[in-house]
Structure 1
């Protein structure tokens, strides 16, 4: 995670945005008279949103946790993909 002040972020806007996209760097922009903001890659944001959605329902969260426990304890089977 990289923290920069607003002026530095603005002066190096292209470099900062490239760092976010290319290196998946999260940039925190520090503002003196306002609240700080976070700049992150859209794919990263969407992945977080999807995770929150999947874990948001108690039944779904329980199902996912059970499946993870089963895999970690040696359960599950390897299967070949079906090529169409």
Structure 2
């Protein structure tokens, strides 16, 4: 993954290559504009990932639950369940 910067004029000239590189190589492109009104181009896949991460970390309760789950994982406090058990638990909520 690489981050490159280009100005708006060059971005216009090379938009196809820039967007192909973003998708093909997980690159980011910073397009510099006057008055520091810069823009970042990233793939939709990465954008969706960032949105999900922001949602999951968006509340103190979610962050606390995720931290607790990671602590359980690190302690080896795991339980494996079957798909049927998961479906049953999911339907109870």
User: 2:46 maps to which residue?
Assistant: 44
Q: How many residues align?
A: 82
1:72: Cα distance to partner? 1.7
Q: TM-score, normalised by structure 1?
A: 0.83
More helix by share: 2
Stretches of structure 2 that go unaligned for 5 or more consecutive residues are: 85-93
For the aligned residue pairs, the C-alpha RMSD in angstroms reads 1.7
Distance 1:41 1:75 in 2: 36
Show structure 1 runs of 5+ residues with no match: none
* Residue deviations 1:27-79 (CA, integer Å, cap 9, x gap): 00011345010111111111111111111122121111100111122221456
Hey, what does 1:2 align to over in structure 2?
4
- Structure 1 runs, 4 residues or longer, greater than 6 Å off: none
State the alpha-carbon separation in 2 of the partners of residues 2 and 28 from structure 1. Answer: 6
Match of 1:66 among 65, 68, 71: 68
